[in-house]
């Protein structure tokens, strides 16, 4: 009924929506056939090194991928997954062609024997893969077009897997560490050095003494462009206007649901007489009344106090049979609840059972019709009535419930709502010691109630739920407010206009071209696409319809593909430039040339560090300084370094002693360490390198 009300209330809007949908359908068909122009961006999803990914083929793959994902998968997940897979395919196929890689017959057969070894269809009597069985299978499906095509697709995917494995194995083989590499790693970890050093920390100079200007940050960005490249991004701010029901709508809904409580008189067009229709208080057909007047159907089940919603359980649980509570509000609904029955039930039960299924029984491998299963269950029940001692034996010989057979058919104490209704009702509503035959969707059960715990009051509750809906007047008012705000914001300051209207402007930064979700709004590609359109400029404002009302958004920043802005890069670059300036200031104040003279000029003491390695280049009191320690390892005992700039300050060092680790007979273990570090990341790193070097034109935004 609520749905019909919504249709009646929004008839004008539905006409507009249907018209727009028809126009979208026509427009989509135009685009599907190449659009109004010859622009490849409407027919090609991407171009990878000159290879075009055709829209039709690509979207078919996206549709297939979407079917494999859960319903809760984020918008665009299937499209992005297929895109990554197709780009990888094109890049790797180029490599195969360049290297002359192909799949030979013996390679394909070896792969098939591995991939299909666990499939009984392709095994011989000994359970091993059989080429003869494979050949027999292929011959048998060639008359079936669909099965034949599926097999050909499988062979194609297997060849692709073989090529990919061969290619990456070749790359990995070229990256294997040698014994010389192993020796270098051994030295890196075990050669030690003793040092004397003077350390002047950057903290000696306050940050305020070395300001960093925007022009310096900009110059740094330009000289390190690769590190500060960014994809196109936009920032927006928006306000939300909800189509929530007004207070008047809520009061009207309360009056409407209250009318259901008492009987009413309606004129019957068929009999031409007035009919008296019972209300919720006195109706004899509780289920029929609820189902006719509620958003949710009647639930015929017993409810413990814990099963009742927390906000109303203390009230409803203590009502007498026939009493009604409400109307009461839950979220965006009004409700009437009536206690229709009450009794005592245990909160848990222990039973044992024998399941005679309809169809094939896993216990005796006999296929039974429904009638035959009932006859078998009744026969066992009649025997057990005279001798329950045979129950365990019948479980082992006859029951098809694998979950309980190992426990003599017993289900230990389980809660009320765990089992299917008929099984549950017998277990909880009968008495301990009762036994009977129960039919469920699994078949026929002989159920024996072994125990029950903690009997308490349970009730059956009939609840009428009706949505609180915004009226036509409210919808028109909200639309008018959204339109007025949009026009006012276009003339004035967005934030100030929002404050004056009682709204809070919410900023959303760094939105990407392929983003689909906007915090606070949810999935809304329309806003994202509008923000990235060429004709949309910073400061532009637009109103959008969303599921619960309207969003009015303003574009506040539009950053095309290129380099980071000064504001974005500042948090990363400012500390770097500040260190450089502090290092220069410290070096300007240093006098003398020896370690002792440098230390004296800076008012610091000469300190000692022992057993420092290149693998753990930590200088006591200073921190991790790989570059500084690396320079020291290049000096001889007794030699001093120049003044060095490190991560944490400025240094001057003297090498006291170099202590090389003893030579080993074999450095294979250290070479293997290096291989273990490199091998797991080879595939990913190679693909990323190929992708970075490729020329890719990505048009996904036009199809999502």
CATH topology of domain 232-244+471-560: Chitinase A; domain 3 (3.10.50)
Q: 3-state class of 132 per DSSP?
A: helix
The whole-angstrom separation of Cα 66 and Cα 77 is 8
3-state SS of 192-214 is EEEEEEEEEEHHHCCHHHCCCCH
The token pair that represents 211 in the structure block: 């300001």
Q: 3-state class of 455 per DSSP?
A: strand
- 643 close to 218: Cβ distance less than 8 angstroms: no
The token pair that represents 79 in the structure block: 């499209």
- 640 close to 652: Cβ distance less than 8 angstroms: yes
pLDDT tens for 384-413 read 999 999 999 999 989 999 889 989 999 999
Does residue 20 carry a pLDDT above 60? Answer: no
Q: What per-residue confidence (pLDDT) applies to 103?
A: 92
Does residue 267 carry a pLDDT above 90? Answer: no
At residue 368 the predicted structure's pLDDT band, cuts being 50, 70 and 90, is: confident
Does residue 21 carry a pLDDT above 60? Answer: no
Which of 360-375 are b and which e, b meaning 16 or more Cβ less than 10 Å from the residue's Cβ? ebebeeeebeeeebbe
Does residue 572 carry a pLDDT above 90? Answer: yes
DSSP state of 129: B
To the question of domain 246-469 being in CATH 3.30.479.30, the answer is no
Does residue 22 carry a pLDDT above 80? Answer: no
Q: What per-residue confidence (pLDDT) applies to 701?
A: 85
> What's the rounded mean pLDDT across residues 257-286?
86
- 46 close to 698: Cβ distance less than 8 angstroms: yes
pLDDT tens for 410-464 read 999 999 989 999 999 999 999 999 999 999 999 999 999 999 999 999 999 999 9
Which of 518-531 are b and which e, b meaning 16 or more Cβ less than 10 Å from the residue's Cβ? beebeebbebbebb
Q: What per-residue confidence (pLDDT) applies to 77?
A: 87
Q: Which of these, 519, 547, 515, lies nearest to 530 by C-alpha position?
A: 515
- 293 close to 464: Cβ distance less than 8 angstroms: yes
Q: What per-residue confidence (pLDDT) applies to 310?
A: 87
Does residue 89 carry a pLDDT above 90? Answer: yes
Q: Which of these, 693, 686, 611, lies nearest to 193 by C-alpha position?
A: 611
Angle at 488 between CA 485 and CA 493, to 5 degrees: 105
Share of the chain above pLDDT 90, in %: 69
Alpha-carbon separation of residue 573 from 208, 235, 509, 555, 562 (angstroms): 16, 22, 20, 27, 17
Average pLDDT, the chain: 89
Q: Which of these, 137, 168, 174, 130, lies nearest to 154 by C-alpha position?
A: 137
Poorest-pLDDT segment among 307-311, 560-564, 572-576 = 560-564
- 293 close to 1: Cβ distance less than 8 angstroms: yes
pLDDT tens for 471-505 read 999 999 999 999 999 999 999 999 999 999 999 99
Q: How many CB atoms lie within 10 A of CB 628?
A: 25
- DSSP-H helix ranges across 330-464: 370-386, 391-398, 402-405, 421-429
pLDDT tens for 517-531 read 899 998 899 999 999
Poorest-pLDDT segment among 189-198, 400-409, 440-449, 654-663 = 400-409
At residue 560 the predicted structure's pLDDT band, cuts being 50, 70 and 90, is: confident
Poorest-pLDDT segment among 101-105, 139-143, 366-370, 468-472 = 366-370
Q: 3-state class of 175 per DSSP?
A: coil
pLDDT tens for 199-221 read 999 999 999 999 999 999 999 99
At residue 124 the predicted structure's pLDDT band, cuts being 50, 70 and 90, is: confident
Q: What per-residue confidence (pLDDT) applies to 187?
A: 95
pTM for this prediction:
0.65
Q: Which residues contact 129 (CB under 8 A, 6 or more apart)?
A: 113, 116, 117, 122, 123
Q: Which of these, 464, 469, 470, lies nearest to 335 by C-alpha position?
A: 464
Q: What per-residue confidence (pLDDT) applies to 426?
A: 96
At residue 68 the predicted structure's pLDDT band, cuts being 50, 70 and 90, is: confident
> What's the rounded mean pLDDT across residues 255-263?
92
Does residue 553 carry a pLDDT above 80? Answer: yes
> What's the rounded mean pLDDT across residues 553-578?
90
- 325 close to 312: Cβ distance less than 8 angstroms: yes
């Amino acid at each position: 009924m609520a749905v019909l009300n919504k249709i009646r209330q929004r008839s004008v809007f539905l006409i507009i929506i249907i018209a727009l949908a028809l126009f979208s359908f026509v427009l989509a068909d135009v685009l599907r056939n190449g659009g109004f122009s010859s622009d490849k961006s409407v027919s090609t999803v991407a171009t990878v090194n000159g290879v075009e990914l055709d829209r039709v083929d690509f979207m078919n793959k996206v549709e297939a991928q979407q079917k494999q994902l859960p319903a809760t998968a984020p918008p665009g997940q299937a499209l992005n997954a297929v895109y990554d897979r197709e780009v990888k395919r094109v890049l790797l196929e180029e490599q195969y062609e360049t290297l002359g890689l192909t799949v030979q017959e013996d390679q394909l057969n070896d792969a098939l024997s591995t991939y299909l070894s666990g499939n009984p269809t392709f095994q011989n009597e000994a359970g091993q893969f059989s080429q003869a069985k494979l050949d027999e299978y292929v011959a048998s499906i060639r008359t079936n077009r669909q099965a034949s095509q599926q097999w050909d697709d499988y062979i194609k995917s297997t060849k692709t897997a073989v090529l990919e494995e061969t290619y990456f194995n070749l790359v990995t083989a070229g990256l294997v560490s040698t014994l010389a590499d192993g020796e270098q790693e051994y030295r890196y970890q075990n050669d030690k050095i003793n040092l004397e050093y003077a350390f002047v920390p950057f903290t000696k100079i306050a940050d305020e003494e070395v300001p960093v200007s925007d022009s310096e940050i900009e110059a740094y960005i330009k000289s390190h462009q690769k590190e500060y490249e960014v994809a196109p991004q936009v920032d927006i701010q928006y306000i939300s206007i909800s189509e929530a029901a007004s207070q008047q709508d809520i009061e009207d809904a309360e009056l409407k649901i209250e009318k259901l409580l008492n009987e009413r008189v309606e004129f019957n067009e068929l009999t031409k007489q007035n009919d008296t229709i019972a209300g919720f208080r006195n109706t004899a057909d509780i289920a029929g009344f609820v189902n006719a007047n509620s958003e949710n159907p009647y639930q015929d089940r017993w409810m413990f106090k814990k099963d009742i919603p927390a906000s109303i359980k203390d009230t409803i649980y203590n009502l007498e049979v026939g009493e009604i509570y409400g109307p009461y509000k839950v979220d965006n609904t009004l409700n009437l609840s009536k206690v229709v029955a009450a009794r005592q039930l245990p909160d848990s039960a222990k039973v044992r059972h024998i399941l005679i299924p309809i169809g094939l029984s896993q216990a005796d491998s006999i296929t039974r019709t429904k009638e035959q299963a009932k006859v078998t269950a009744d026969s066992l029940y009649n025997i057990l009535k005279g001798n329950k001692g045979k129950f365990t034996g019948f479980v082992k010989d006859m029951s098809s419930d694998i979950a309980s057979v190992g426990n003599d058919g017993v289900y230990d104490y389980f809660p009320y709502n765990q089992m299917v209704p008929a099984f549950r009702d017998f277990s909880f509503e009968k008495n301990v010691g009762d036994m009977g035959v129960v039919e469920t969707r699994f078949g026929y059960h002989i159920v024996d109630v072994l125990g029950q715990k903690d009997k308490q009051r349970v009730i059956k509750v009939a609840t009428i739920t009706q949505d609180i809906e915004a009226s036509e007047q409210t919808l028109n008012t909200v639309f008018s407010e959204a339109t007025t705000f949009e026009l006012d914001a276009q003339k004035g300051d967005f934030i100030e206009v929002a404050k004056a209207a009682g709204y809070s402007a919410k900023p959303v930064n760094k939105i990407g071209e392929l983003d689909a979700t906007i915090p606070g709004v949810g999935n809304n590609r329309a806003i994202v696409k509008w923000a990235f359109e060429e004709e949309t400029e910073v400061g532009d404002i637009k109103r959008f319809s969303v599921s619960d009302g309207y969003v009015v958004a303003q574009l506040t920043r539009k950053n095309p593909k290129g380099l980071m802005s000064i504001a974005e890069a500042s948090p990363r670059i400012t500390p770097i430039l500040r260190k450089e300036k502090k290092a220069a200031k410290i070096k300007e104040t240093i006098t003398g040339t020896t370690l002792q003279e440098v230390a004296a000029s800076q008012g610091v003491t000469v300190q000692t560090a022992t057993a420092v390695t290149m693998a753990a280049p930590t200088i006591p009191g200073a921190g991790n300084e790989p570059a500084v320690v690396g320079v020291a390892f290049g000096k001889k005992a007794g030699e001093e370094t120049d003044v060095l700039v490190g991560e944490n300050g400025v240094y001057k060092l003297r090498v006291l002693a170099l202590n090389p680790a003893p030579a080993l007979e074999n450095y294979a273990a250290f070479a293997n360490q290096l291989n273990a570090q490199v091998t797991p990341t080879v595939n990913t790193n190679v693909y990323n390198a190929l992708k970075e070097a490729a020329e890719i034109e990505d048009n996904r935004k036009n199809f999502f």
